[in-house]
Copies of this chain bind each other. A is one copy, B any other.
Amino acid sequence: MAVVTIWNEFRHEREDDDVSAVYPDGIHETIADGLADRDDDSSLEIRTATLDDPDHGLPEDILEETDVLLWWGHEAHDEVSDAVAERVQQRVLEGMGLIVLHSGHYSKPFKRLMGTTCSLQYREDGARERLWVVDPGHPIADGLEEYIELPKTEMYGEPFDVPEPDRLVFNSWFEGGEVFRSGCCYRRGSGRIFYFRPGHETYAIYENDDVRRVLHNAVEWAVPTEGAPRTFGERD
């Protein structure tokens, strides 16, 4: 049994009718449904947490229990406390998986773990995206066709200021003329990190079957393994 915690800023859905029309219960609940639907062997315990919960829903004990954390944030990155951001970072280094979604590229935990600005270009034009699988042998691509097509989405364009990914799984084509490294795998400390681009709040991206498949694959990929000791400090 792996514990999955889906963290969502959960502001757009309460403030903006266009968003609540798409995600009436919040993006986190839609993602939770998607994971539960694919959890055939009931191996996942799925929880949610949001910015406005006490401790942003991520007190120490919750993070300790969490095997994989998903993170969606956009307009309120700055309201995430440094203490929680650091706690998330430390837990990843100890082994917790982290899946960063869409505008989460600018979240505190992701920027801390990458060490770069995580900046990019964007255009909110609702045009077409194709996420090409460039690493067909990667478990996050299990069961996909050669690409995922999203008919209407926000564009993210290069350069994407992140460290060279350990593995690039998806490479996006945008109708308007841009490309983007949309599925990037990293290891930091003992933790696995996956950045996955799709997910704008006004398009029903998390209802898409292929996107759901990717998220489920990514959760399974990011579950920590037993590992060996991380022993530091003075040595006899």
Contact = CB atoms under 8 A, between A and B. Distances in A.
How many protomers of this protein does the assembly include?
A: 4
Contact of A231 (B146, B163, B179, B233): B146
Interface string A96-130: 00000000000000001111110111110000001
Nearest to A120: B232
The secondary structure that dominates the A interface is loop
Contacts of A161: 93, 189, 230, 232
A1 interface: no
A31 B155 CA distance: 36
A190 interface: yes
Given A95-B137, A158-B132, A173-B173, A228 B143 contact: yes
Interface residues of A, number: 69
Given A163-B163, A179-B132, A229 B189 contact: no
A166 interface: yes
A181 interface: yes
Given A232-B121, A232-B159, A136 B172 contact: no
Interface stretch (A4-12, A61-69, A219-227): A219-227
A19 to B, nearest CB: 20
Contact of A133 (B113, B117, B228): B228
A220 to B, nearest CB: 10
Interface of A: 89-90, 93, 95, 112-117, 119-123, 130, 132-139, 141-146, 155, 157-161, 163-164, 166-168, 171-174, 177-179, 181, 186-192, 224-236
28 contacts: A89-B115, A90-B117, A93-B117, A115-B188, A117-B232, A119-B230, A119-B232, A120-B232, A132-B157, A132-B158, A133-B159, A133-B228, A134-B179, A135-B164, A136-B227, A136-B230, A137-B224, A138-B225, A139-B226, A141-B228, A145-B228, A155-B235, A157-B235, A158-B171, A159-B230, A159-B232, A166-B167, A171-B181
